[in-house]
Amino acid sequence: MTTEQEYLEMSNHCKELVEQKEIEIKRLKEQNEELKKILFVSYSFTRVIDHYSDQDELSVECRDLVEFLRGYLSSQLDEHIF
């Protein structure tokens, strides 16, 4: 039979586990927000490069890479942010 002290110990242990999980969830949310910012900034820079690549004399390969990167980042923004 479980004593009151054992219940208290189990309760404290569960409380510690929940607190640890809450800390981990908070850290993951912050990390997720930071990654979203990085993704958005990367997409913005790629849009600027894409804009200037139309005006400058860049190789076809370079333009294709910029266009591919812009499309990829755009789809990632749609999937993970919007």
pLDDT tens for each residue of 23-65: 999 999 999 999 999 999 999 998 888 888 777 677 888 888 8
Domain that holds residue 37: 4-80
Task: Say whether pTM exceeds 0.75.
Answer: no
Instruction: Quote helix, strand, coil % in the chain, to nearest 5.
Output: 90, 0, 10
Domain count, the chain: 1
Q: pLDDT at residue 77 above 90?
A: no
